[in-house]
Amino acid sequence: HLDFSEQYYHFFHQHFQWMKSYQPMEKPGPSSILGVSQLKPGEEEGYRVAYNPEGTGCGAAMRSMCIGLKYPKPDQLLSLVAVAVETGRMTHPHPTGFLGAVASALFASYAVQRRPMTTWGLGLINEACPVARTIIQGRGFAVDETERDWGYFCDKWQWYLDLRGLSNGVGPLLWPPSYGPAERDEAYKSFSLSGWAGRSGHDAPMIALDALLGAGSDWEELMNRAAFHGGDSDSTAVIAACCWGLLYGTNGVPEGNYSNLEYRDRLERCAEQLYALSH
């Protein structure tokens, strides 16, 4: 049983109050804002928010890689999925939204494990998603609504694996004969829920994985694929860059990309504490 203490609520309230001070283009998405407004600190199960059929966005996916760093080992899959599901549902109670949190957390843990990247998507739908479904059924909250809307996430991921020749987890990878910026923009739209590439919980990690598979250890190519496209590019880039950093560190990354980061000291301190917790 997970202990959702006051510390969880404090984190979410403070985090989003801070983010609301950003400029309009930098603030959290509508599902994140709505979800946080419904949290009830101090009340029993106050971390539950009403089921939202529009809560399909990528906000939960964007913030969940740290869960994979807390639970990086194969035998910690249950804990990883449980935490990703419940923290994801705080703001994105639709499965397309909170399963994105599962995907991002899982991919970060796979990067730590050095699991072959060609198996990541298959692990998501064959290993993690069934665990998530069992957790939802066991919690007894919004089960009917979640079951009703469950299929899209896994079906779209299976579609992607078929498209890339990864249904067997081995490959070989199948790429279009031409896959430059214009072609990627069209492809990413086909990944999406409604034409806005990377906006949703399923396709933000999907585009990130697509970029990781295509870029290998080349940082510039990763940015070309994950960060420079016509969709929700910051969301796809943050997931891809986290996993890439776990694999390759700062090798080949221009120093200007990390030397003067805002809140760098805070980030490094949190990273050290997270590493200590996970080890």
pLDDT at 14: 59
Q: Residue 90: what pLDDT?
A: 87
Asked whether residue 92 is assigned to any structural domain, the reply reads yes
pLDDT at 34: 65
Residue range of the domain that includes 84: 4-38+59-253
Q: Please tell me the predicted confidence (pLDDT) of residue 48.
A: 75
Per-residue model confidence (pLDDT) at position 72: 96
User: Would you state the pLDDT for residue 2?
Assistant: 44
Torsion of CA 154, 160, 163, 169, to 10 degrees: -80
Q: How far apart are CA 207 and CA 227, in angstroms?
A: 10
pLDDT for position 99:
98
What is the rounded distance in angstroms from the CA atom of residue 6 to the CA atom of residue 218? 42
The answer to the question of residue 278 being in a domain is no
Tell me if 264 is assigned to some domain: no
268 domain residue, yes or no: no
Inside any domain, residue 51: no
Q: What is the pTM of this model?
A: 0.90
In this predicted structure, what is the pLDDT of residue 26? 54
Q: Is 274 within a domain?
A: no
Report the pLDDT value the prediction gives residue 268, as an integer from 0 to 100.
Answer: 93
pLDDT value of residue 1: 40
Closest CA to 31 of 212, 193, 229: 193
Peptide bond preceding 41: is omega within 30 degrees of 0, i.e. cis? no
Residue 34 belongs to some domain of the structure: yes
Q: For tokens 């700062």, name the residue.
A: 250
Q: Is 235 annotated as a binding residue?
A: yes
48 within some domain? no
The whole-number pLDDT of residue 50 equals: 81
Residue-level pLDDT, tens digit, the chain, 279 residues: 445 445 455 556 555 555 555 555 555 666 566 656 666 666 666 667 789 999 999 999 999 999 999 999 999 999 999 999 988 998 899 999 999 999 999 999 999 999 999 999 999 999 999 999 999 999 899 999 999 999 999 999 999 999 999 999 998 999 999 999 999 999 999 999 989 999 999 999 999 999 999 999 999 999 999 999 999 999 999 999 999 999 999 999 999 999 998 889 999 998 999 899 888
The predicted structure's pLDDT at residue 8: 56
Q: DSSP assignment of 58-99, as one string?
A: SHHHHT-HHHHHHS-SGGGHHHHHHHHHHHHHTT--SHHHHH
- Report the domain count for the chain: 1
| CATH code at position 189 | 1.10.4080.10
